[in-house]
């Protein structure tokens, strides 16, 4: 590392939109990707890996637009060790103020066998592709995929070749979540010691969580000299996911005494982005997840509650406000006015113009009429509710009435507005949700299959809103629909229709892979 200022600074590389979105079912729409990228940029992420441009037309367009819009972050795209991939990546990221090309190849014996390259042939490929990338862009990241299962000598050799060919960041991925903290640190130390030129570049750590050690492995690598941590919001990612951004950042902040490294992340934005990623990906955050789980700052036992009332530090090592949880206990209700709603939403991270507020206020009033107390989580669910007919949705739920009880079959009387025309049907099913879904299928026949149906109570109490996520698949395309309502069956029907609308958009927009 030639810049001494970087010695105590850890760069945060977020790959929610690439490695995170790659996890089955976490597909995000174009606009959702733009929104998450903006939130990442605003929170101070140093590098955003915005996608894999050659993977699809949709990925290419998303990376290009994120690159053009981002204000602060370096925008990076992924590419395999192939010049056409790299060219496509460059075409997308070149619009950024600070573009980066990330290129990778699997270097472990298992991965070398797939393209059937021997060690020398692979070295040549690395040299050629990194050189090609460097001729396009002066910010190049190179990754030896499955580095933690690559022979040490060979790893040193390929890293040296990549540095000589012009890589400015070398990322060391624990692709299968196999390493452990001490080994993760030793690997970085070995590379720093043995590879000529290692002190001229930045080492990154990229860990997967298959054994639940991703964050620990990333922090161990930092202590050994890595200065870029690759992570995702909520730890989203394939299989058990990736290192979670919020865990790394808060660990560095809270334990700065033993890990004296800083990041530029505005931690008060963590909770908002965590909730947004959970909504758009359809992957709810587990209640006991560190930092962002619903219970991370909840105290149930009498001893804990008593201690908390006397001194919050007895059972909390960080303050809820540090991660953007508002401490105000103002509960909204049907008498709350527009100004109170605006101020409450601002506390929750939503700033909006008059027109948007007008629309949200109408929906808030409708909710407050049905629910005596509207909590922060209710408002967040309202803000994240996509299933309440957007004006340009082709299919909209106009009305739904269900008959249910101990004597089946249950029945749903549904009216959908399709392309502006109302259509009604009565359908039966095994329970009111099944009956409602059958009614949607009768009114709007489609071949998409339901992959996941998930109901989540937003707050406590029998009048709680339910957030429903519905994941559907059609011809390899996966979408997630979402809606919230105090009536679980209505939320379910709207979430289903929301997913259908997303499929319709994707049918129109997605070009052949
Ligand atoms: O896990 C991994 O190896 C990756 C690479 C593409 C960097 O995500
Ligand atoms: Zn990965």
**pLDDT at 327 > cutoff 70:** no
User: Best substitution site from 143, 147, 176, 203 to test ligand 1's pocket, by max atoms within 8 Å of Cβ?
Assistant: 143
Q: What is the pLDDT of residue 512?
A: 41
By mean pLDDT, which of 136-140, 226-230, 365-369, 478-482 is the weakest?
478-482
For 351, other C-beta atoms within 10 Å of its C-beta total: 9
Query: Relative to the CA of 171, which ligand 1 atom is closest?
Result: 7
Region 267-274: mean pLDDT is 95
Q: Please tell me the total number of residues recorded for the chain in this structure.
A: 513
Position 304 confidence tier, pLDDT thresholds 50, 70, 90: low
**Residue 149 CB–ligand 1 contact under 6 Å:** no
**pLDDT at 25 > cutoff 80:** no
Q: How far apart are the first and last CA of the chain?
A: 40
Q: What is the pLDDT of residue 373?
A: 80
Region 5-31: mean pLDDT is 88
Q: What is the pLDDT of residue 509?
A: 55
Region 111-123: mean pLDDT is 95
CB contact at 8 A, 209 and 19: no
Region 432-451: mean pLDDT is 95
**pLDDT at 104 > cutoff 90:** yes
Q: What is the pLDDT of residue 267?
A: 97
- What is the largest distance, in Å, between two alpha-carbon atoms of the chain? 76
Query: Relative to the CA of 104, which ligand 1 atom is closest?
Result: 6
**Residue 206 CB–ligand 1 contact under 6 Å:** yes
Query: Looking up tokens 């990333």, which residue turns up?
Result: 218
Alpha carbon distance 91, 94 (integer Å):
6
Alpha carbon distance 249, 230 (integer Å):
11
Query: Relative to the CA of 19, which ligand 1 atom is closest?
Result: 8
For 504, other C-beta atoms within 10 Å of its C-beta total: 17
Position 348 confidence tier, pLDDT thresholds 50, 70, 90: confident
CB contact at 8 A, 413 and 424: yes
CA of 173 to the centre of ligand 1 (A): 6
**pLDDT, tens digit, for every residue of 183-193?**
999 999 999 99
Query: Looking up tokens 């009565």, which residue turns up?
Result: 426
CA of 34 to the centre of ligand 2 (A): 21
Region 228-252: mean pLDDT is 97
**Residue 175 CB–ligand 1 contact under 6 Å:** yes
Phi, psi of 15 (to 5 degrees): -120, 30
**pLDDT at 511 > cutoff 50:** no
Nearest to 162 by CA among 140, 191, 184: 140
Tokens matching residue 94? 């070149």
Top pLDDT among 417 and 339 is at 417
**pLDDT exceeding 90 applies to what percent of the chain?**
67
**pLDDT at 3 > cutoff 60:** no
**Residue 142 CB–ligand 1 contact under 6 Å:** no
Helix residue ranges per DSSP H, 21-172: 30-43, 57-69, 83-93, 109-112, 119-136, 152-165
pTM of the model: 0.80
Q: Strand 99-106 to strand 228-231: parallel, antiparallel, or no bridges (unpaired)?
A: unpaired
């Amino acid at each position: 590392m030639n810049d001494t200022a970087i010695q105590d600074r850890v760069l945060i590389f977020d790959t929610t939109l690439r490695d995170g979105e790659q996890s089955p079912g976490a597909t995000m729409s174009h606009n959702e990707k733009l929104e998450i990228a903006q939130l990442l940029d605003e929170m101070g992420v140093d590098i955003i890996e915005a996608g894999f441009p050659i993977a699809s037309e949709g990925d290419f367009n998303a990376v290009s637009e994120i690159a053009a819009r981002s204000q602060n972050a370096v925008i990076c795209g992924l590419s395999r060790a192939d010049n056409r991939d790299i060219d496509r990546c460059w075409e997308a990221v070149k619009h950024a103020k600070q573009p980066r090309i990330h290129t990778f190849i699997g270097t472990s014996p298992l991965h070398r066998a797939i393209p059937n390259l021997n060690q020398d042939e692979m070295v040549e490929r690395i040299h050629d592709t990194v050189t090609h990338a460097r001729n396009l862009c002066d910010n190049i990241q190179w990754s030896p995929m499955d580095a933690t299962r690559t022979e040490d000598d060979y790893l040193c050799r390929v890293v040296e070749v990549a540095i000589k060919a012009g890589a400015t960041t070398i990322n060391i991925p624990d692709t299968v979540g196999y390493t452990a903290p001490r080994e993760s640190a030793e690997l970085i130390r070995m590379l720093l010691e043995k590879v000529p030129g290692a002190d001229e570049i930045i080492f990154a750590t990229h860990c997967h969580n298959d054994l639940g050690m991703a964050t620990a492995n990333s922090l161990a690598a930092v202590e050994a000299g890595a200065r870029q941590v690759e992570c995702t919001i909520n730890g989203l990612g394939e299989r058990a996911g990736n290192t979670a951004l919020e865990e790394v950042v808060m660990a560095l902040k809270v334990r700065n005494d033993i890990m004296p490294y800083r990041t530029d992340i505005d931690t008060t934005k963590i909770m908002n982005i965590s909730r947004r990623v959970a909504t758009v990906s359809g992957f709810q955050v587990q209640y006991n997840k560190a930092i962002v789980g619903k219970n991370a700052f909840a105290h149930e036992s009498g001893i804990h509650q008593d201690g908390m009332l006397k001194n919050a530090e007895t059972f909390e090592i960080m303050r809820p406000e540090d991660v953007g949880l508002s401490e105000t206990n103002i509960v909204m209700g049907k008498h709350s006015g527009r100004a109170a709603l605006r101020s409450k939403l601002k506390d929750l991270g939503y700033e909006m113009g008059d027109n948007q507020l007008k629309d949200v206020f109408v929906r808030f009033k409708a909710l407050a009429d049905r629910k005596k107390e509207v909590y922060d989580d209710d408002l967040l669910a309202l803000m994240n509710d996509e299933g309440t007919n957007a004006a340009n949705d082709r299919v909209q739920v106009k009305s739904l009435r269900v008959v249910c009880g101990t004597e089946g079959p249950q029945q749903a009387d549904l009216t959908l507005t399709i392309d502006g025309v109302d259509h009604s049907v009565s359908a039966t099913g095994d329970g009111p949700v099944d009956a409602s879904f059958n009614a949607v299928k009768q009114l709007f026949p489609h071949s998409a299959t339901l992959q996941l149906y998930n109901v989540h109570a937003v707050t406590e109490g029998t009048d709680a809103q339910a957030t429903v996520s519905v994941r559907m698949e059609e011809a390899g395309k996966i979408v997630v629909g979402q809606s919230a309502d105090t009536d679980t069956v209505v939320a379910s029907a709207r979430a289903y229709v929301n997913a259908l609308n997303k499929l319709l958009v994707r049918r129109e927009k997605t070009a052949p892979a």
